[in-house]
């Protein structure tokens, strides 16, 4: 009886050993191969998806700038560069976006190209946008084979809008303009999208130091508006009014922050951005009584 049990145990061990060996052999028969990473987009391409799709290994996708595109690629980083993978205001690529939009970095701020160092106002330009570096795979949180700087509106989709050279011979898409519903600047003014009817649009903000006159500041604001709009006459034959806040007289005796902006002349509203308007006429609507 003991001999029969011992023989049975030997048979069981042999069978288990064969089974384990066989299963192990089956598992190691193939070699795992990583799926190839998608190729980098080109500057000017658009972000068309930024979340995982069913059955897809990638969290982002790029393609043509169609009506429902989410944002635009404005810069690329080479392979192996450590970058964050999500839109993040603290680790975004705003500088690359503003540079691609045609602005020039100067002492930590951005200005229109060709600005003289002797301007009485230290002007600064920007645009409301979210920016971030995107890579080819969501499984690589800090490094990637390539990274694309993407600009997106603060709200909604970008569509086919392009910010490339918007401040230097191009036109600023309305989704990236700063507009509001009143002709004055106050704590209670309501910001709105520039694609909607609005009363005013921001050109630039600036800092003035003591010793300048308000006449010089107004002249500087007019120059900024003319270059930003793309016309020698920023009023566009009286259709627009270039304004400044605050707007006083005399000489400036302390540091003052100023805002240069444009409104529609009379009781009318603007539709669209006037930045990069060039020879085109602005779209103006009469306001209802």
Q: Residue 5 has what pLDDT?
A: 34
Tell me if 204 sits within 8 A of 273, measured CB to CB: no
The DSSP output letter for 274 is -
86 pLDDT more than 60: no
**What confidence tens digit (pLDDT) does each residue in 247-258 have?**
999 999 999 999
Q: Residue 164 has what pLDDT?
A: 96
214 pLDDT more than 50: yes
Residue 17 structure tokens: 């050993």
Residue matched to tokens 């301007």: 119
Nearest by Cα to 146 from 205, 82, 191, 225: 82
Q: Compare 236 and 135 and report the one with higher pLDDT.
A: 236
Q: Where are the alpha helices (DSSP H) in the chain?
A: 2-27, 94-100, 214-229
Q: Residue 283 has what pLDDT?
A: 93
**What confidence tens digit (pLDDT) does each residue in 167-199 have?**
999 999 999 999 999 999 998 899 999 999 999
What is the pTM for the complete model shown?
0.80
Q: Residue 187 has what pLDDT?
A: 86
68-82, 169-183, 201-215, 218-232: the lowest-pLDDT one: 68-82
At residue 284, φ and ψ (nearest 5 deg) are -120, 145
Tell me if 63 sits within 8 A of 46, measured CB to CB: yes
Q: Residue 91 has what pLDDT?
A: 54
Q: Residue 82 has what pLDDT?
A: 62
87-96, 120-129, 163-172: the lowest-pLDDT one: 87-96
Query: In this prediction, what percent of the chain has a pLDDT beyond 70?
Result: 76
Tell me if 50 sits within 8 A of 70, measured CB to CB: yes
The number of angstroms, rounded, from the C-alpha of 175 to the middle of its chain's C-alpha atoms is 10
Q: Residue 109 has what pLDDT?
A: 94
Please state, in angstroms and rounded to a whole number, the distance separating the CA atoms of residues 77 and 142.
13
Residue 203 structure tokens: 């050109």
Q: Residue 77 has what pLDDT?
A: 82
SS3 110: strand
Mean pLDDT of 90-100: 84
Please state, in angstroms and rounded to a whole number, the distance separating the CA atoms of residues 56 and 53.
5
**What confidence tens digit (pLDDT) does each residue in 123-157 have?**
999 999 999 888 776 544 345 568 889 999 988 88
Q: Compare 112 and 49 and report the one with higher pLDDT.
A: 112
Query: In this prediction, what percent of the chain has a pLDDT beyond 90?
Result: 61
166 pLDDT more than 60: yes
SS3 255: coil
Please state, in angstroms and rounded to a whole number, the distance separating the CA atoms of residues 69 and 177.
18
**What confidence tens digit (pLDDT) does each residue in 20-79 have?**
333 334 444 555 555 566 788 999 999 998 875 555 555 688 999 999 999 999 998 877
Please report which confidence band the pLDDT of residue 18 belongs to, taking 50, 70 and 90 as the band edges.
very low
């Amino acid at each position: 009886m003991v001999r029969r049990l011992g023989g049975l145990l030997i048979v069981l061990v042999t069978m288990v050993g064969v089974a384990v060996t066989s299963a192990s052999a089956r598992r190691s028969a193939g070699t795992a191969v990583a799926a190839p990473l998608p190729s980098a987009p080109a500057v000017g391409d658009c972000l068309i998806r930024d979340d995982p799709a069913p059955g897809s290994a990638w969290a982002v996708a790029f393609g043509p700038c169609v009506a429902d595109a989410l944002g635009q690629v404005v810069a690329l980083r080479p392979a192996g560069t450590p970058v964050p993978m999500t839109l993040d205001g603290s680790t975004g690529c705003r500088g690359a976006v503003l540079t691609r939009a045609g602005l020039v970095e100067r002492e930590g701020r951005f200005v229109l190209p060709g600005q003289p160092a002797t301007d009485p106002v230290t002007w600064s330009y920007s645009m409301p946008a979210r920016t971030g570096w995107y890579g080819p795979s969501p499984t690589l949180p800090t490094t990637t084979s390539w990274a694309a700087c993407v600009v997106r509106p603060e709200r909604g989709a970008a569509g086919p809008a392009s910010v490339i050279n918007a401040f230097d011979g191009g036109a600023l898409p309305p989704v990236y303009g700063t507009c509001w519903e009143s002709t004055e600047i106050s704590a209670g003014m309501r910001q709105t999208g520039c694609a909607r009817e609005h009363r005013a649009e921001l050109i630039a903000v600036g800092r003035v130091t003591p010793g300048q006159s308000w006449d010089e500041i107004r002249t500087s604001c007019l120059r900024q508006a003319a270059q930003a709009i793309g016309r020698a006459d920023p009023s566009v034959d009286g259709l627009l009014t270039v304004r400044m806040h605050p707007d006083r007289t005399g000489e400036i005796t302390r540091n003052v922050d100023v805002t240069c902006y444009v409104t529609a002349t009379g009781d009318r509203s603007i539709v669209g951005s006037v930045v990069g308007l060039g020879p085109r006429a602005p779209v103006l609507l009469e306001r209802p009584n």
